[in-house]
Amino acid sequence: MRLLLLEDDLEYKLSIKEYLESLGYEIDDFDDGEDALSAIYENKYHLLILDIRVPNINGYEVVKSIRENGDNTPVIYITSLTDINNLSLGYELGCNDYIKKPFSPKELKYRVEQLLKLFYTNENSDKIDLKSNFTYDILKKQLFKNSELIQLTKKEAEVVFCLITNKNQFVSIDKLRSEVWDDKYICEADIRVCIKKIRDKTSKDFIINQRGIGYKIDREK
């Protein structure tokens, strides 16, 4: 999963980034609110972790801007602010959780996992049931067939994640290109090869294709 971290204290930012990366998350980090806001509009993130008092555009303004534009990506504020008015403002603007500094890495891990479960799984379960006895662990990005793990490369796992989190909707080549490869120049043939490799490891019907529209993975109804 791809997370954005906004924190202007360099040492604090690096320690948080390294810890989250050790848990398997992909982290884009920023120390400037304006740069972070631009990245949010240019990329797809599954969770935003924002300090409030940062240069140029503060954490409140970042959340205000994205919520006004219909972006419901979950947000955790990390802050040393403790005044109830500050906390209330954050929730009113649309944040989902607060962590007060200083905090332990395990607390951050717990808060991140809980929000990801809430937003990206069915009924707060880590596992998603797919058709033909496939299941998917959305936090670990692992695919199973009859409880047996299917070995996927990192890119294959990202493709499967993208398709599953779009909940039975077709995903276009352009969307796969931007969300998985983050490269507008990636060749369409390379994307198709990746999808073929996933089908080879699963079944030809695991990923459904509709010409001119895109691809999807069906969940169980």
pLDDT for residue 187 is more than 80? yes
The terminus-to-terminus CA distance of the chain in angstroms comes to 24
Provide φ and ψ at 125, rounded to 5°.
-95, 145
Burial of 5 (0-12, 13-18, 19+ CB in 10 A): buried
User: Is the pTM of the predicted complex or chain greater than 0.75?
Assistant: no
The stretch 204-216 carries a mean pLDDT of 92
The stretch 154-175 carries a mean pLDDT of 86
| pLDDT score recorded for residue 124 | 47
**In terms of pLDDT, which residue wins out, 128 or 206?**
206
**Measured distance CA(137)–CA(143) in Å, rounded:** 6
Helix (H) or strand (E) holding 172: none
Contact in structure between 101 and 13 (CB atoms under 8 Å) = no
| pLDDT score recorded for residue 159 | 92
